[in-house]
Amino acid sequence: MTDIKSPGLIKAKGVLFACLAALASSLLLLRRWDPVDAVLLGIALWAACRAYYFAFYVIERYVDPSFRFAGLWDFLVYLARGKTPPPDAV
C-alpha cells in the first residue's frame, strides 16, 4: 500500500473521519441521552485528539526530530524501546 499523495484525497479522508466521529457520537447519545454521558464523550474525544497530536506532532517536533512515525503502532514501539532523544534535539 502506498501513501496518499493527492491533496484532495487527503482532505476527503479527513472529512470522512470527522463524519464517522460525528455519526458514532450522535448514535451513542441518541441511544441513551444523559448529560453526563455527553460530557464524558466530549472529554474522551478531546483527549483522543490531543493524544494523537502529541504522538505525531509534539514527539516529532520537540522530542526526537529525527524519527518519523508511520502510525500509532510505530509510536507504541518507539515508547516501548524507551528511545531517548539525541542531546542536540532538546
Residue 21 lies in domain: 1-32
26, 50: one domain = no
Taking phi over 0 as left and psi of -120 to 50 as alpha, with beta for the rest, 84 belongs to beta
Q: How far apart are CA 4 and CA 85, in angstroms?
A: 29
* Residue at 89: amino acid letter: A
* Band of pLDDT at residue 1, cut at 50, 70 and 90: low
pLDDT of residue 90: 42
Q: Regarding predicted confidence, which is higher, 66 or 80? A: 80
Number of structural domains (the chain) is 2
**Mean pLDDT (whole number) for 15-29:** 93
* 35-53 and 7-31 helices, crossing angle to 10°: 150
Grid coordinates standing for 87? Answer: 542531546
pLDDT in tens, 58-77: 878 888 787 777 778 888 88
13, 54: one domain = no
Residue 88 confidence (pLDDT) above 80 = no
